[in-house]
Amino acid sequence: MQDFVRFVDVPKRPAAYRPVAERVRDYRDVTVMRGSPDSQAQASRCISCAVAFCHWACPLGNRVPDWNTRAAEGDWAAAYQALAATNNLPEITARVCPAPCEPACVLQISWEGVTIRENELAVIEHAFQQGLVTPRHPRRRTGKSVAVVGSGPAGLSCADQLNQAGYRVVVFERDPAIGGLLRYGIPDFKLEKWVLDRRLALWEQEGIAFRAGVAVGTDYPAGRLLKDFDAVCLTGGARVPRDLPVPGRELAGIHFAMDYLMQSNLRVAGRRGKGRAELSAAGTRVVVIGGGDTGADCVGTAHRQGAARVVQLELLPKPPECRGAGDLWPDWPKILRSSSSHDEGGDREWSVLTKALLGQRGRVDRLSCVRVDWTQADPDGRPVMRELPGTAFEVEGDLVLLAMGFSAAELPEWMRGLGIRADARGAIETDAQYATGAKGVFCAGDMRRGQSLIVHAIRDGRNAAHHIDRYLTGASELPLA
């Protein structure tokens, strides 16, 4: 009984952060790693439910109670084995996943839930420190090969699974380095790139070949791809950003958030983007349009670049601090979420519609905005936006960053030529086995499902690997998530 009530005796200890005054001066990880005793104590709060809703809520089906139990006992090897069984990139998800598992923790019903993501980070980092993460060489090779086009989480997890199944796997990436938006879209203060490079080095030792700076369709003809490989998996993500079609959009000083973040990440890595105008928030009044994770990353980056002021605008209303009457456990709660970037300063405005971008001499210097209301609904019960009379106002801004998400996957001509098509949402059409309209060509990740979480991308990559294995051999022992 004493073990069962550890969640009562041991207070929840959320993630700890470096002081704001210190961390805004650099791009290093904002979090502070817990020591082993604290990690074991936090893991001991898990009550190993008979029906583990954290497992249900995780798209990867992570066996959370298993590795929490082992970690609490100090058996880091067993904890690592349980964690690695379902997740190809635990050191990444433990840093950047929004953790849909945590609100589904049974303790959340009437207590403080388990710090699942922080426990996951403790397990995987202990595994690396203790030399438990070593190259796993496939037992045999099939003699067949697969090309993975795109090196984000879907592509990397797909490549890892197929390599372990014995295929020769080559990952193509058009950007200068492997990692996709893990490398170029997420700031180092959330994900330092040595974490990614450490994993990539392991996979290279295991036999995966990475070809960065190679654009399929131009540098590597699509026809050659289908001749050189027995199957292809497209994992290019959903990288077409949503635009803001309002008067003044053509003014200088207005940029997509991902262009801004990619430039910043390149500079932090000591590189320069070719043929792009220099983007920096130094000394500027920054306005970020969009209240999601990408917008928050822009806020944190602007702080580090020395912005004079940062304002983040969100079209939707401010969420409540806790679950409402119809927002029931264990579903993902519609509540207010703040990132470490918001704790560093800046203003957040909710229910704001940008009507126009205004400026002088061809450059933006302010935004024309209006407050909106979402309390009315259409006949189907969906909220309807209504502008509130007399609430027009302006926001000063020299650098406007559009962080409103992504609308579609890119569909270049070489894909169209193969018979690959996009659906009404702009995602690549596939069947239930992840196969596209082109023989031997599969698709996974955001490119297939639309913009989503990293855990969905990893799951998609793992599932695509299973179906590719079945396509090439008639059967597969690779797990379906």
Q: How buried is residue 209: exposed, middle or buried, by Cβ count under 10 Å (0-12/13-18/19+)?
A: middle
The rounded distance, in Å, linking the Cα atoms of 454 and 92 is 9
Structure tokens at 158: 């797909």
The DSSP string of 142-209 is: -S-EEEEE--SHHHHHHHHHHHHTT-EEEEEESSSSTTTHHHHTS-TTTS-HHHHHHHHHHHHHHT-E
**Which part of the chain is CATH 1.10.1060.10?**
3-129
Every domain of the chain with CATH number 3.50.50.60 lies at 145-239+407-473, 243-312+335-371+388-402
pLDDT band at 3 (very low <50, low <70, confident <90, very high): low
Q: Into which CATH architecture does domain 145-239+407-473 fall? A: 3-Layer(bba) Sandwich (3.50)
Residue 4 has pLDDT above 60, yes or no: no
At 289-319, the pLDDT tens digits run 999 999 999 999 999 999 999 999 999 999 9
The residue behind tokens 């596939």 is 430
Structure tokens at 396: 């000063």
Sorting pLDDT into bands at 50, 70 and 90, what band is 2? very low
pLDDT score for 97:
97
Residue with token string 């679950």 = 323
- pLDDT reading at 22 higher than 80: yes
- Would you state the structure tokens that stand for residue 409, as one six-digit string? 């996957």
Q: How confident is the model at residue 1 (pLDDT cuts 50, 70, 90)?
A: very low
* 141: pLDDT strictly greater than 70: yes
340 CB neighbour count, 10 Å cutoff = 19
Q: Cis link prior to 247 (omega < 30° from 0)?
A: no
Would you tell me how many other CB atoms lie within 10 Å of the CB of residue 105? 27
Residue pointed to by tokens 């009550």: 47
For residue 161, the model assigns a pLDDT of 98
In this structure, CATH architecture of domain 3-129: Orthogonal Bundle (1.10)
The answer to whether the beta carbons of residues 301 and 264 sit under 8 Å apart is yes
What is residue 358's DSSP assignment?
Answer: E
Cα distance between residue 106 and residue 385, in whole Å = 36
Compute CA distances 318 → 74, 321, 335, 373, 392, whole Å. Answer: 42, 9, 9, 11, 18
Rounded distance, CA 108 to CA 292, Å?
24
Nearest-10 crossing angle of helices 64-72, 76-84: 170
Q: Which pLDDT does position 272 carry in this prediction?
A: 74
* Span 316-373, pLDDT tens digits: 999 999 998 889 999 999 999 999 999 999 999 999 999 999 999 999 999 999 999 9
Question: Residue 229 corresponds to which tokens in the numbers above?
Answer: 């490989």
| Contact predicate 216/232, CB 8 Å | no
The yes or no reply on domain 243-312+335-371+388-402 and CATH 3.50.50.60 is yes
Average pLDDT (195-201) is: 98
Asked whether residue 5 carries a pLDDT value surpassing 90, the answer given is: no
Say if residues 441 and 44 touch (Cβ distance below 8 Å).
Answer: no
User: Angle, to 10 degrees, between the axis of helix 64-72 and the axis of helix 36-43?
Assistant: 130
Percent of the chain's residues with pLDDT above 90: 92
Q: Dig out the tokens for 97 from the structure.
A: 């996943």
pLDDT beyond 90 at 8: no
Q: Which helix (H) or strand (E) holds 32?
A: strand 31-32
DSSP label at 258?
A: H
Looking from the CA of 139 toward its CB, the CA atoms found within 13 Å total: 1
Integer angstrom CA distances of residue 334 from 105, 327, 366, 382: 16, 7, 31, 15
